[in-house]
């Protein structure tokens, strides 16, 4: 292989782990990896409000916790509201001199269900109110914790336990909800997509989000071998393929201005991504072509936005 | 050492069931879950750290010689490290049952 | 001043740190006045309007866990929407104070007063208090914060205020000097809080093998908070001369028939009791102030000597009977000698219950009991 010093970049990251091993996620869980990297990027001066979901369950079985930073779980749909409360409390307590002034990041974390579906209201409210917080959505594209049921983030054609591929149905019939666009429509300072297969990019984006003077939204693709019916060792490769085929482009929206984090002269064929996942195994070639067409269309639209700087 | 939940009496619980010891989940041996374990060929290792950064279970630690070594106490045997290693220095082998 | 305004003034005087608001009739005047106080710099707090009541209480949970004294206020549908979080707030032992401007639950939609909203969260684990007039609403904000924040309690508290009947009326309110309040209610010192200097995990999930222990701990705390409640009321009384009790009586010591009420209609009932006493009838009044934890001992003490109880519920458990009557019956069941009980549901959706109505209810109850009516339950004043 040619000299690729980029592989050494990860050595520049802190070795400290704020998310402790011993958590109960499945083997090969890229969502746990995403959460690990987010925690690494933010360090110890953070307070996390988490929604019910895989990451909450695997990390907090009483009386144990995987968290080495303050962490609070309340309910499924209100991570953004709880985070709003935390952020406001920190503000007023520091202002009144009840706690010493210090930069503490407020982070809300939810899965795709807890963000795009049941949590959308609280998220929209928090973004509109302009709290200084980061909202991270770890998107494994279904309600994985309760048994792989579909969410509005489930991609078109995926088979889930409530949108199964059967004799007359072909899996999810709706297109994945565009959460980053919804977040960006709130005119917040920073929106970005990330994937743990690109760890340096993810960490950099989280740090950037922490430095914003207003709400930031990060949408992180989290490969789930259990739910996607893929081999656990492929979680990083699949995340990379999602980006390389244009299914999950990496980009940022800073105050409405789009830039792609990485572009490819030619997107890889959709089939390479799809064939590694059991949840798509029922798709015919023509369906895959249809999906590919739409993915390319959306990718081109994204590139246009980025070119215009709009 | 935090004792398992089935041994706690109601009086021992904290107010609001707050967990006071950060990261005490690290007592739990997730390494029992694996059937494959990673084996490192040091001659091929270029010390890049990709195995360490891609491990969802934080099972890799840097040793004094500069190699990243898997902590089998936590390693679930997912195989990501072996798959991502740029030089193929890691192979997954079946873990023998302890006698 | 209007009672809602007095309530908001109390929140200001209590030095609340975070207020989350979502408007719903008849709570609106409370949050509107609070927002004015903040806008004019009279109250240094983070006040913000959230996008639903569910978020309103969620925000308070987040801010209280971080160590800020938090407040919210709601009614009816809003309370129903946030009901999920009420159970969580008490399980997490966060001493939030919430004023409920009691309003009936839909359907049919109605903005007027009754207790069906707070009755729908009977089991939520909060300390729940009822008030009869504006002064009591004002007073109980301070009482609620001091009580809830006490290290031996650490529970959220609900102060019930009848919607419109109390919230929107103008009454004379004796305000307490700020320095007295500051002495009565010191700043909030959380036992645990979210801060990087001492990272804790709150809201962990519990397996069946530990859940019962967690609930037992919570139950013991709520039940054993009664001495603290009494202590707090005594301290408040020593400061202001207004003493409150879990169960209050009016002309009840020798009465054969006792009216049992909860909330603002207690004052109206006392007028009816006076009238009936003038006519030589042996009637008295027992008013329940503490709803949860239910004051079984105090209630028995006040009522066992009577021959019959006329329990007035301002809510219904549709398909069973009035919630207060259920509790009353449970309280008295184990006693060898106990009064007969007749239960009226009266005043739902704010329908007026005048002194004459109380007299009619007592008359009806006495007749029904004498005729051996076993069911002992009816909705008063329904047009057939």
> Residue A310 pLDDT > 70, yes or no?
no
Residue A225 near residue A27, CB atoms below 8 Å: yes
Task: Note the pLDDT tens digit of each residue in A61-92.
Answer: 999 999 999 999 999 999 999 999 999 999 99
- b/e map of A82-120 (b: 16 or more CB within 10 Å)? bbbbbbbbbbbbeeeebbeeeebbbbbbbbbbbbbbbbb
Cβ of A51 under 8 Å from any chain C Cβ?
no
Task: Note the pLDDT tens digit of each residue in A243-292.
Answer: 999 999 999 999 999 999 999 989 999 999 999 999 999 999 999 999 99
Q: How far apart are CA A37 and CA C378, in angstroms?
A: 63
> Residue C128 pLDDT > 60, yes or no?
yes
> Residue A2 pLDDT > 60, yes or no?
no
Select from C94, C200, C217 the Cβ nearest to the Cβ of B13. Answer: C217
Cβ of A65 under 8 Å from any chain B Cβ?
yes
pLDDT at C375: 78
Confidence category of residue C373, pLDDT binned at 50, 70, 90: confident
Stretch A45-63: mean pLDDT = 96
Residue A97 near residue A124, CB atoms below 8 Å: no
Task: Note the pLDDT tens digit of each residue in C278-299.
Answer: 999 999 999 999 999 999 999 9
A47: closest CA among A134, A120, A121, A131?
Answer: A134
Strands (E) located in chain A: 46-50, 71-73, 105-111, 133-139, 190-194, 216-221, 251-254, 257-260
Average pLDDT, chain A: 95
Dihedral (CA of B48, B53, B54, B59) sign:
positive
pLDDT at B95: 85
Task: Note the pLDDT tens digit of each residue in C171-208.
Answer: 999 999 999 999 999 999 999 999 999 999 999 999 99
Domain residue limits, chain A:
16-308
Q: Which of residues 224 through 253 in chain A touch B, CB cutoff 8 A?
A: 225, 231-237
Task: Note the pLDDT tens digit of each residue in C94-114.
Answer: 999 999 999 999 999 999 999
pLDDT at B99: 53
pLDDT at A3: 60
**Total Cβ atoms within 10 A of residue C275:** 15
Q: Between B and C, how many residue pairs show a Cβ–Cβ distance under 8 A?
A: 50
Neighbours of chain A (3+ CB pairs under 8 A): B, C
Task: Note the pLDDT tens digit of each residue in B19-77.
Answer: 999 999 999 999 999 999 999 999 999 999 999 999 999 999 999 999 999 999 999 99
Please name the residue of chain C whose CA is at the shortest distance from the CA of residue A74: C203
Please name the residue of chain A whose CA is at the shortest distance from the CA of residue B47: A8
pLDDT at A1: 45
The partner residues of C73 in beta bridges, in order of sequence, read C99
Superfamily of domain A16-308: Thiamin diphosphate (ThDP)-binding fold, Pyr/PP domains (3.40.50.970)
Select from A26, A33, A64 the Cβ nearest to the Cβ of B25. Answer: A64
Residue C171 near residue C274, CB atoms below 8 Å: no
Domains defined along chain B, listed by start: 33-99 (3.30.70.20)
Please name the residue of chain A whose CA is at the shortest distance from the CA of residue C189: A98
C316: closest CA among C50, C116, C58?
Answer: C116
Q: How far apart are CA C195 and CA A47, in angstroms?
A: 7
pLDDT at C374: 75
pLDDT at A308: 85
Stretch A201-213: mean pLDDT = 97
Q: Which chain B residues are within 8 Å of A63, Cβ to Cβ? A: 2-3, 5, 8, 13, 17, 19, 24
Q: How far apart are CA C232 and CA C234, in angstroms?
A: 5
Q: Which chain A residues are within 8 Å of B21, Cβ to Cβ? A: 65
Please name the residue of chain C whose CA is at the shortest distance from the CA of residue A95: C44
Portion of chain C with pLDDT greater than 90, in percent: 98
Task: Note the pLDDT tens digit of each residue in A216-247.
Answer: 999 999 999 999 999 999 999 999 999 999 99
Q: How far apart are CA C129 and CA C115, in angstroms?
A: 12
Confidence category of residue C62, pLDDT binned at 50, 70, 90: very high
Residue A49 near residue A108, CB atoms below 8 Å: yes
Could B92 and A233 be called an inter-chain contact, meaning their C-beta atoms sit closer than 8 Å?
yes
> Residue B90 pLDDT > 60, yes or no?
yes
3-state secondary structure of C222: helix
Portion of chain C with pLDDT greater than 70, in percent: 100
B21 burial (CB, 10 Å; 0-12 / 13-18 / 19+) is: middle
Domains defined along chain C, listed by start: 3-239 (3.40.50.970), 247-379 (3.40.50.920)
Average pLDDT, chain C: 96
């Amino acid at each position: 292989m040619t000299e690729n010093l980029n592989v050494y970049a990860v050595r520049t990251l802190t070795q400290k782990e704020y998310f402790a091993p011993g958590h109960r996620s499945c083997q090969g869980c890229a969502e746990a990896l995403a959460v690990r990297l987010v925690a690494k990027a933010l360090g110890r001066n953070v307070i996390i409000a988490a929604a019910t979901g895989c990451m909450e369950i695997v990390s907090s079985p009483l009386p144990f916790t995987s968290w080495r930073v303050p962490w609070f779980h309340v309910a499924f749909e209100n991570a953004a509201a709880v985070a709003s409360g935390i952020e406001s409390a920190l503000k007023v307590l520091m202002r009144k001199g009840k706690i010493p002034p210090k930069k503490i990041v407020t982070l809300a974390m939810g899965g795709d269900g807890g963000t795009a579906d049941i949590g959308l209201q609280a998220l929209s409210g928090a973004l509109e109110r302009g709290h200084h917080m980061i909202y991270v959505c770890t998107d494994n594209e279904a309600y994985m914790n309760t048994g792989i049921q579909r969410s509005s983030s489930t991609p078109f054609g995926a088979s889930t336990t409530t949108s199964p591929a059967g004799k007359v149905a072909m899996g999810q019939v709706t297109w994945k909800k565009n959460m980053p666009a919804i977040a960006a429509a709130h005119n917040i300072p920073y929106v970005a997509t990330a994937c743990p297969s690109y760890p340096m990019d993810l960490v950099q984006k989280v740090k950037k989000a922490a430095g914003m003077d207003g709400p930031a939204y990060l949408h992180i693709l989290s490969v789930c071998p259990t739910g996607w019916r893929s081999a656990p060792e492929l979680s990083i490769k699949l995340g990379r393929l999602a980006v390389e085929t244009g299914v999950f482009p990496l980009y940022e929206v800073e105050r409405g201005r789009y830039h792609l984090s990485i572009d490819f002269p030619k997107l890889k064929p959709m089939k390479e991504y799809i064939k590694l996942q059991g949840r798509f195994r029922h798709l015919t070639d023509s369906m895959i072509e249809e999906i590919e067409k739409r993915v390319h269309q959306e990718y081109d639209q994204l590139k246009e936005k980025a070119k215009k700087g709009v | 050492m935090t004792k398992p939940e089935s041994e706690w009496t109601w009086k021992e619980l904290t107010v609001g069931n707050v967990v006071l010891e950060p990261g005490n989940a690290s007592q739990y041996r997730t390494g029992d879950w694996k059937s494959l374990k990673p084996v490192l060929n040091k001659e091929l290792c270029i010390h890049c750290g990709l195995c360490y950064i891609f491990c969802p279970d934080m099972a890799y630690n840097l040793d004094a010689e500069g190699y990243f070594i898997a902590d089998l106490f936590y390693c679930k045997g997912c195989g990501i490290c072996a798959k991502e290693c740029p030089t193929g220095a890691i192979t997954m082998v079946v873990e023998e049952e302890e006698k | 001043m209007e009672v809602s305004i007095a309530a908001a003034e109390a929140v200001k005087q209590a030095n609340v740190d975070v207020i989350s608001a979502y408007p719903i009739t008849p709570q609106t005047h409370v949050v509107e006045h609070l927002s004015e106080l903040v806008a004019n710099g009279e109250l240094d707090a983070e006040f913000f309007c959230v996008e639903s009541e569910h978020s309103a209480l969620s925000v308070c949970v987040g801010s209280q866990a971080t160590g800020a004294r938090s407040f919210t206020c709601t009614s009816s549908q809003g309370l129903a929407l946030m009901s999920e979080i009420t159970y969580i707030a008490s399980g997490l032992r966060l001493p939030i104070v919430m004023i409920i401007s009691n309003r009936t639950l839909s359907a049919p939609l109605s903005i007027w007063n009754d207790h069906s909203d707070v009755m729908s969260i009977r089991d939520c684990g909060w300390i729940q208090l009822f008030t009869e007039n504006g002064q009591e609403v004002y007073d109980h904000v301070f009482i609620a914060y001091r009580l809830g924040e006490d290290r031996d309690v650490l529970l959220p508290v609900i102060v019930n205020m009848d919607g419109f009947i109390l919230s929107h009326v103008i009454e004379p309110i004796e305000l307490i000097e700020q320095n007295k309040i500051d002495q009565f209610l010191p700043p909030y010192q959380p036992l645990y809080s979210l801060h990087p200097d001492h990272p804790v995990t709150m809201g962990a999930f519990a397996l069946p093998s530990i859940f019962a222990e967690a609930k037992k701990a919570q139950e013991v705390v709520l039940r054993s908070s009664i001495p603290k409640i009494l202590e707090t009321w005594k301290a408040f009384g020593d400061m202001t001369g207004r003493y409150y009790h879990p169960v209050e009586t009016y002309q009840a010591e020798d009465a054969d028939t006792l009216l049992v009420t909860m909330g603002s209609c207690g004052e109206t009932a006392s007028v009816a009791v006076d009238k009936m006493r003038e006519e030589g009838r042996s009637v008295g009044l027992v008013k329940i102030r503490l709803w949860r934890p239910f004051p079984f001992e105090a209630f028995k003490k006040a009522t066992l000597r009577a021959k019959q109880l006329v329990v007035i519920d301002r809510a219904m458990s549709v398909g069973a009977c009035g919630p207060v009557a259920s509790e009353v019956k449970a309280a008295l069941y184990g006693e060898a000698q106990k009064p007969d009980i007749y239960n009226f549901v009266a005043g739902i959706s704010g329908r007026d219950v005048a002194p004459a109505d109380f007299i009619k209810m007592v008359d009806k109850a006495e007749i029904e009991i004498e005729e051996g009516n076993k069911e002992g339950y009816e909705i008063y004043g329904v047009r057939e």
